[in-house]
Structure 1
């Protein structure tokens, strides 16, 4: 196949002669810069996608998809509310709960805890805690038994194991002649769970619903009803239907309860995209300086082509081809490298940690202790298109300058 002469000359100019090796080196640097920028953008966005997905999955393993509560904090008719909620489309399970705060004490060692009263049989239908037990079972919680299930990190901080006693101090006090005194109740550790999410492993304690009703003086009421859906993305729709069916109650979903966190992640992702796109832009516009030097170096060649009848547009095409090939090469190299690293990040990071001898991710800071990754091909496509467009834009000014070359001026001193 006969290629257009503009493409043949543009490709030939990519291979600089020995005396112009510096120009060839600058071209290589531009290609490498584009490749690194594209790869970095793909890797960072893939890690952020994986981090967001992993944290969302872990949060939803403990938190409810939809939550129904009462404005005054005590839901008395929770059984009818639960029955109505189960009839809704997409609802897989419903369970009552009591949420409260307390202090857990063992031999002078005190830790704050988020205390949750649950119905063990129903709780397993809405969250994954029952499948994350490292000791005991959630069903070990029985009415009147005053057993307690602790997160693994919380149990470690308290220094307790299965069968040990812990004292729960509640903010609801007893009135005594000496004044208001906090209520204390001793519990037996009947289970330990590990969600692999520090926030819950280090703070969540679960007890039987009836024990919690007695301890927190709730009577037969509960804090609310938690629902599990077959698809978390329909939570806002189910919430809207329940609000219409239960106007006297408060209905929220997981996007409301964790809105600040997911909004922060989304904002961070956007800002990282903008910053790394600027890196790609800087690398792409390095092509401008490269092509300007090539145009300056090829003034005589351009003049000869013009005298042979080449149109200004043909001259432009020659240098557009040269810049576009460099941009395409750098972009493709970056996409391939970025995708390969993103897919193997779970192997690469442990090797780096082993080499430097330190842990890059601490679970108490980053919620998880490893680096997840999820390659989103729509992100990859967007990055590819942006990089190619920036590379193409970078070729326009030098190509336009080349097309304006006057043959007589260029050949005056030849």
Structure 2
């Protein structure tokens, strides 16, 4: 223990010695700054990746059906069988009937595409959390429709206004159906959803699609998101209806895979960037060995062994690494906490939108800081700092005492 304490004190004297050249001090400082910047940037970057993954799982997948069974033709013959199997399955949270179609909303001479979903207002739906309770209750009225806030704003529509919905006929090459609906309210979810989606009740959806009775599909919400495919197969293979089996990994799984791929690439880049920063530690210690040869010779004549010299230079390199990691971790945490504010300020100054809500599934940069990521980044930086000290420390043990003292 006494040996490590002495080595730590000598390492501090070597690192802060007044006789150090300015160039050596610059190289030493650059290694510390490089490690700090690398840690800060990657902590912030990983926090952004965490934010995107969280938004995908906790918000976006609330509206995207985890599992959906859709009739191959017309309506489902035995929808009650799906509800019974869903109620019996331990990993299914809820099941709800839907009718889906696509149409064009006409306002004057402008036509805007909309993905329309017929829902049962008497059943809970995630979208009702993003609108007023009065709007959701008004959806029970026949001929009522709820649109995304951005879509309604684009069409200059407000609650109570009439609009014309044009839906293609599913029976041959007949003229499209036109129906006048009343805007019962709007919802504000964020991202593409507010520009593309609309909701009506099941009765209105049947009139639009020409479906006389029944429903065209059933949505399931599951507790284990990444088991959606397995659950869909377990239930789907027991049905008497011919149905299309669909799940979120097939429709939106590319978003999750892209996030995970970027995260993996960031880990690799983290190691490479920190490795480059740690090369400055190698340069600093090699130059320190050359500059401190006389001191090394004196220590050897006083009885210090080679292992003692190794400790000194390893600890000197680790001091640079610890300093850089400490500043980098603090800077990374502060940057992560304030990144949304900084990006909003940048958008206001430049007038450019970083994430256009009609293109991306979010309209702001999400950030979620995980303590494990901070620990991981700091650990990688410290390990690389330690590895960078091994060669210069070994070189210090090879200094010839007589030449060093006489130098």
TM-score (ref. length: structure 2): 0.89
The corresponding residue for 1:137 is: 135
SS in 2 for 1:195: coil
| Structure-2 residue corresponding to 1:362 | 356
SS at match of 2:364: coil
**Cα pair 1:106 1:165 within 8 Å, conserved:** no
Runs of 4+ in 1 over 6 A off after TM superposition: none
Name the CA shift for 1:366/1:115 in 2 (closer, same or farther; >3 Å).
closer
Distance 1:168 1:376 in 2: 46
Q: Distance in 1 between matches of 2:259 and 2:311?
A: 43
Residue 234 of structure 1 and its aligned partner are, at CA, apart by 5.8
Aligned match of 1:325: 319
Structure 1 unaligned spans of 5+: none
2:380 aligns with 386
Please point out which of 385, 388, 391 is paired with 1:397.
391
Check 1:79–1:334 CA distance in 2 against 1; reply closer, same or farther (3 A cut).
Answer: same
Deviation for aligned residue 1:401: 1.7
Q: Give the equivalent residue in structure 2 for 1:111.
A: 112
Whether the 8 Å contact between 1:285 and 1:390 is mirrored in structure 2 is no
- Equivalences for residues 20-35 of structure 1 within 5 A: 20-35=21-36
Distance 1:356 1:149, change over 3 A: closer
Cα distance in 1, alignment partners of residues 97 and 264 from structure 2 = 38
Which whole-Å CA distance do the structure 1 matches of 2:148 and 2:80 have between them? 28
Q: Distance in 2 between matches of 1:106 and 1:271?
A: 46
Task: Give the drift of 1:110.
Answer: 0.5
**Preserved CA contact (<8 Å) 1:136 1:192:** no
SS of aligned partner of 2:369? coil
**Superposition pairs of residues 306-321 of structure 1, within 5 angstroms:** 306-321=300-315
Paired with 1:330 and 1:277, the residues of 2 have a C-alpha distance of: 15
Is the counterpart of residue 166 in structure 1 residue 163 in structure 2?
Answer: yes
Give the TM-score, by structure 1 length.
0.88
Question: Residue by residue, what CA displacement relative to the aligned partner does 1:326-356 show, whole Å, maximum 9, x if unpaired?
Answer: 1122112212221232234344444454565
Q: How does 1:112-261 map to 2 (within 5 A)?
A: 112-122=113-123, 125=124, 127-133=125-131, 136-142=134-140, 145-172=142-169, 180-196=174-190, 198-229=191-222, 232=225, 235=228, 238-246=231-239, 249-261=243-255
Whole-Å separation in 2 of the counterparts to 1:173 and 1:392: 69
1: CA distance, partners of 2:252 / 2:340: 27
Please point out which of 329, 333, 339 is paired with 1:335: 329
Q: Given that residues 7 and 308 in structure 2 are in contact (C-alpha distance below 8 angstroms), is that contact kept between their aligned partners in structure 1?
A: yes
Q: Does 1:38 align with 2:39?
A: yes
Do the aligned residues in 1 keep the contact of 2:56 with 2:256 (CA within 8 Å)?
Answer: no
User: Who is 1:288 aligned against?
Assistant: 282
CA contact (8 A) 1:135 1:191 kept: no
Q: Which residue of 1 aligns with 2:264?
A: 270
Q: Answer yes or no: is the 8 Å Cα contact 2:192–2:359 preserved in 1.
A: no
8 Å contact from structure 2 (residues 76, 214) kept in 1: yes
- Could you say which residue in structure 2 is the equivalent of 1:93? 94
1:149-187 deviation line (CA, Å, top 9, x unaligned)? 111111122222222222222222667xxx742222222
Mapped partners of 1:185, 1:58: distance in 2: 32
Which structure 2 segments of 5+ residues have no match? none
Are 1:135 and 1:162, in contact at CA under 8 Å, matched by a contact in 2? Answer: no
Cα separation, 2, equivalents of 1:312 and 1:25: 28
Q: 1:67–1:251: 8 Å Cα contact kept in structure 2?
A: yes
Q: Please give the secondary structure, in 1, of the residue aligned with 2:69.
A: strand
